[in-house]
């Protein structure tokens, strides 16, 4: 039975560039009632992206917008915004969307665009995060869901997964273990946004109408890092994740 106190599910557009594994998990969670969003479309800058066929099978509208056909980043972003806006979305999710977005594009969707990055931000923005963590001798690694701002991988942090680094890890083995934790934390963050629990206000993450001083942590299937009342409520949405 639905909760009458919940807001309507936000219409959600997902941007991908490849196989879209995070997108698929998000859509499946939404369709199974485990994530309070309404995915309506998947858009890719790469026409042959594998995730588009999978999105179609799940009933999403799909759009292909080849970035190589545009003379500038600004022209592509303007065209992308026009495609996105046709769906009147409340939430934009970047799920392996391999484009650096212009400042104007980011400002257009400020406070309603999420990204996931495979590191414990602010550590290792950009590429090759797993090898960089290994080279630094770190003992733990992970992934971060954050609001998107104009500075790459620097938006306000919502939730981070933590993964111990093993002595025999390669960048490939570490990447797979981190990816396995990306699925639940992205679903959680999208769900919290959809429920109205998480938002971005004045450049900071607000959780239950209070400023979140540091990101929620996810480790071994458990959440921690917030005060007790917050954690109790957040765990209501954690239970179905796997």
pLDDT (tens digit per residue) in 93-139: 999 999 999 999 999 999 999 999 999 999 999 999 999 999 999 99
Task: Round to whole Å and give the CA distance between 144 and 162.
Answer: 9
115 is a domain residue: yes
| Domains identified in the chain, total number | 1
104 is a domain residue: yes
**C-alpha to C-alpha distances, 210 to 25, 194, 213, nearest whole angstrom:** 29, 17, 9
5 is a domain residue: no
1 is a domain residue: no
Confidence of residue 1 (pLDDT cuts 50, 70, 90): very low
The angle at the Cα of 174, spanning 170 to 175, to the nearest 5 degrees, equals: 115
> At 123, which CATH number?
3.40.50.170
Q: State the average pLDDT for the chain.
A: 94
Q: Which pTM does this prediction carry?
A: 0.94
The active-site residue, picked from 36, 67, 117, 130, is 117
Q: Does residue 67 register a pLDDT over 60?
A: yes
Each residue's pLDDT tens digit, 133-191: 999 999 999 999 999 999 999 999 999 999 999 999 999 999 999 999 999 999 999 99
Task: Round to whole Å and give the CA distance between 238 and 131.
Answer: 30
33 is a domain residue: yes
228 is a domain residue: yes
119 is a domain residue: yes
Confidence of residue 242 (pLDDT cuts 50, 70, 90): very low
- Note down the domain range covering 127: 11-238
Catalytic: 130? no
**C-alpha to C-alpha distances, 42 to 13, 30, 147, 160, 207, nearest whole angstrom:** 6, 14, 19, 25, 28
204 is a domain residue: yes
């Amino acid at each position: 039975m639905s909760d009458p106190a919940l807001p309507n599910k936000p219409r959600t557009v997902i941007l991908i560039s490849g196989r879209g594994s995070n997108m698929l998990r998000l859509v499946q969670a939404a369709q199974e009632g485990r994530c309070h969003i309404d995915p309506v479309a998947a858009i890719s800058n790469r026409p042959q992206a594998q995730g588009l066929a999978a999105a179609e099978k799940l009933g999403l509208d799909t759009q292909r917008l080849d970035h190589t056909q545009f003379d500038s980043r600004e022209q592509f972003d303007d065209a992308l915004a026009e495609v996105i806006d046709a769906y009147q979305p409340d939430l934009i999710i970047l799920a392996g969307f391999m484009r650096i977005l212009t400042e104007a594009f980011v400002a257009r969707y400020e406070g309603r665009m999420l990204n996931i990055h495979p590191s414990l931000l602010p550590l290792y923005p950009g590429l090759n995060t797993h090898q960089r963590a290994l080279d630094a001798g770190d003992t733990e690694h992970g992934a971060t869901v954050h609001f998107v701002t104009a500075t790459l991988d620097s938006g306000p942090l919502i939730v981070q997964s933590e993964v111990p680094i093993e002595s025999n890890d390669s960048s490939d083995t570490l990447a797979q273990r981190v990816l396995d934790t990306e699925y639940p934390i992205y679903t959680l963050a999208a769900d919290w946004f959809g429920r109205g629990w998480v938002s971005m206000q004045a450049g900071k993450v607000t959780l239950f109408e209070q400023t979140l001083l540091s990101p929620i942590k996810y480790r071994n299937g458990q959440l921690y890092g917030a005060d007790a009342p917050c954690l109790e409520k957040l765990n209501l949405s954690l239970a179905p994740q796997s």
